[in-house]
Amino acid sequence: MRRSILAATLLAGVTLAGAATAHSPYLLPSAFDVTDRKLVTVQGSFTESFFSPEVVMKSDAWAVVGPDGVRRPLTATNLRELALVEVPTETAGTYRVTTGQRTGRTAKAVLVKGEWEFLEDPTKAPAGTTPVDMQSLTLADVYVTRGAPNAAALAPIGKGLEFVAVTHPSSIFTGQDARFVVLFDGKPVKGQAVTLHAGDDRYAETKAPPVNLVSDDQGRFTVKVERSGVYQIQARYRVAPQTTGAATNATGHSYTYALTFESLR
């Protein structure tokens, strides 16, 4: 597949039919423990190999939620492979650095056996299906902490797809359970597929496949990693176009949420 097509695919945050893998969003801070820092730099990118940046993650909604729970805008420097934001961390506590909800391109998709499939060529849609417009919406978060962790920045947004950390992201330890809840518009999502990616594939002799997880009836899922390192967890949630009723919307939406965390011994 040509590079131009691949670039369009990753910006959509979706998988086109026939593509082996999709680019995924991530944020990566220069440090997770910022106790000895008054500033942390965070990169944002899309990649197929964590955490090697490939295409810049542009957003008009970059922000940081501080230890006081207040959300403040950030200004990114956009390079070709990644975006960079500098975040002041002078106050003790936990900071949530976020891209905010960013709107991507609109692609054609069809529903096949209950699953949405994205089309490179809408004229080649499977028989019996009708292509619809599906717009991508991406949100990526990462937490850093100065001193003792606190929970103000962990409060859910209540809009779109997100993970709520039951286990504080700055208190995730190797070999121990870390618990999260998947929410969509503030409500738990049952049976949501979640993928876990390790960040050291470039040094491994064999690239480890992602770990597949599923949320329970209350939207809860548990992550346990056996090696210290940096990890990304993500989910995608598709909403079909609404063609009847008061909330008519001819465009569907493909939500992607990604969270980066560090596991320590």
Q: Can you tell me the distance from the alpha carbon of 85 to that of 75, in angstroms, rounded to the nearest whole number?
A: 6
Backbone angles phi, psi at 135, to 5 degrees: -95, 135
Task: Give per-residue pLDDT as tens, 108-135.
Answer: 777 776 677 777 777 777 777 777 787 8
Pairing relation of β-strands 93-98 and 83-88? unpaired
Integer angstrom CA distances of residue 130 from 25, 69, 229: 29, 44, 44
Instruction: Please say whether the beta carbons of 7 and 17 come within 8 A.
Output: no
- The predicted pLDDT at position 244 comes to 62
Task: Give per-residue pLDDT as tens, 3-57.
Answer: 333 333 334 333 333 333 478 999 999 999 999 999 999 999 999 889 999 999 9
Task: Give per-residue pLDDT as tens, 61-89.
Answer: 999 999 999 999 999 999 999 999 999 99
> Which are the contacts of 246, defined by CB distance < 8 A and separation ≥ 6?
none
SS (H, E, C) 198-224: ECCHHHCCCCCCCEEEECCCCCEEEEC
- The predicted pLDDT at position 159 comes to 94
Task: Give per-residue pLDDT as tens, 189-237.
Answer: 999 999 999 987 666 666 778 999 999 999 999 999 999 999 999 999 9
Mean pLDDT of 250-258: 90
Q: Can you tell me the distance from the alpha carbon of 237 to that of 184, in angstroms, rounded to the nearest whole number?
A: 8
Return the closest-CA partner of residue 169 out of 82, 233, 78: 233
